[in-house]
Amino acid sequence: MVKQRADLTFKYNLKHGRHSWLRLTPAYSIKIVQQILERDPTITYVLDPFSGTGTTGLVCAENNVRCDLTDINPFLVWFAKAKTANYTTDTLQQAQKCVHEICRHVLNNCETEPLWFPPIHNITRWWPKNRLVILAKIYQALNYHLPKPSPAKDLLLIAFCNLVINWSNAQFNHQSMSFKDESATQLTLFDEDRQILRQFSDLTEKIVASAHTSLKGKVAVYQEDARTLSLPGQEKYNCVITSPPYPNRMSYIRELRPYMYWLGYLTDGREAGELDWQAIGGTWGIATSRLQAWESNGTPIPYPGFEKMIGDIATQNTILANYVHRYFADIVKHLHNLYPILSPGARVFYIVGNSRFYNTIVPVEQIYAALLRDCGFTDAHVEVIRKRNSKKELFEYAVSAIKPE
């Protein structure tokens, strides 16, 4: 029987150094990447075109394997760069010094200008007013003591991202993210401001401690659309290890919004929706409304029964039918764009999950295998990784294939 295997999810990463720097529910386990690298010692140059929080790149760096990462989300590009960087002793000491200066700055009420709050709609749903004020004071002090981008500032901003989610009303007991019951009476902790400052200091110390470890493998990170990759290097990749978004209407933007608004990567809801529309599988905001008018323009999906599957979903919801159809049309574009930048004999590994819409199962793993074959790959193989936590028929798979010599 296939088990859920929490060790093959993001939960395992939370106990391992830099891999614990930021939680993202859809992230996959470092164990999967490690097992692929261990099985094939000929892998020397890896590409992850859906890099998310940089799990693939960090594991490659830890194993002295060269790796390029791409993602369409600028916040994730920044984060993956910081996560896979090597830090000097001076940088780490500067981060430790600055966090103490920031805490003193806040405790002494040294605001130099009016406090700024991120323009999140209904922001008090995320944080009560008293917490918003202390978080804004910390963010202001951080930018005062480190006004320009720097490696030390990156580490403190990562600690701040953890802080804002730890003290928010968000909870993660669902597939993605939900909010605590606002009707419940909230207990105000004694001297909560000092507790928040203490946690900011502790988070920084934890991040700095794990940043001491030197990474051997070279990692480069680029902001790219996986459908139209235009990477600068001339050398071709001999492996792809990636986990693209699953076609399940779970928006990454929803979970990333608090970080992206605080750090200035988003300024309004329309920007969030636009980015989700650009991302493969995005559904947030205007992305959903645009699906109503989306047309495939004849992009063939070479999987037997695909049109019937889309038709079955359409009888229940035409928007969801368009969503699934567009998802695979985008994956077709991605694979055809990917194929030329791989060396002969390159192996590709796609970690994907199947989906269900009403009574229709979408066999994502089988469709990926069919698309890989149609693109020119051989030896397409599907392996079950684990049972997912949601519906009983949902699993996670590794779909692999080889570019012919």
- Give the pair of three-digit tokens for residue 203: 């988070």
Mean of per-residue pLDDT scores for the chain: 90
CA distance 70 to 50: 6
- Give the pair of three-digit tokens for residue 63: 């194993």
- The reported pLDDT for the residue numbered 203 is 97
User: Is the pLDDT at 10 greater than 80, yes or no?
Assistant: no
pLDDT tier at 7, thresholds 50, 70, 90: very low
pLDDT tier at 180, thresholds 50, 70, 90: low
- Give the pair of three-digit tokens for residue 32: 């999967």
Averaged pLDDT, 268-290:
87
User: Is the pLDDT at 176 greater than 60, yes or no?
Assistant: no
CA distance 54 to 332: 23
pLDDT tier at 172, thresholds 50, 70, 90: low
User: Is the pLDDT at 251 greater than 80, yes or no?
Assistant: no
CB 236 within 8 A of CB 229: no
- The reported pLDDT for the residue numbered 43 is 97
Per-residue model confidence as pLDDT tens digits over 15-33: 568 999 998 866 678 999 9
Q: DSSP letters of 146-197?
A: S-S--HHHHHHHHHHHHHHHHTSSEE-SSSS-EE--TTSPPPPPTTHHHHHH
- The reported pLDDT for the residue numbered 2 is 45
- The reported pLDDT for the residue numbered 11 is 54
Which one, of 242, 250, 262, lies nearest residue 394 by Cα? 250
CA distance 320 to 365: 19
Domain residue limits, the chain: 6-86+215-402, 89-211
The CATH number of domain 6-86+215-402, selected from 2.40.50.100, 3.30.70.260, 3.40.50.2300, 3.40.50.150: 3.40.50.150
CA distance 145 to 148: 9
User: At a CB cut-off of 8 Å and minimum separation 6, what does 321 contact?
Assistant: 310, 311, 313, 314
Averaged pLDDT, 128-133:
95
Phi-psi region of 398 (alpha: psi -120 to 50; beta: other; left: phi over 0): beta
Per-residue model confidence as pLDDT tens digits over 208-229: 999 999 999 999 999 999 999 9
CA distance 385 to 123: 38
Per-residue model confidence as pLDDT tens digits over 229-241: 988 877 999 999 9
The answer, as to whether pTM is greater than 0.85, is yes
pLDDT tier at 70, thresholds 50, 70, 90: very high
- The reported pLDDT for the residue numbered 255 is 86
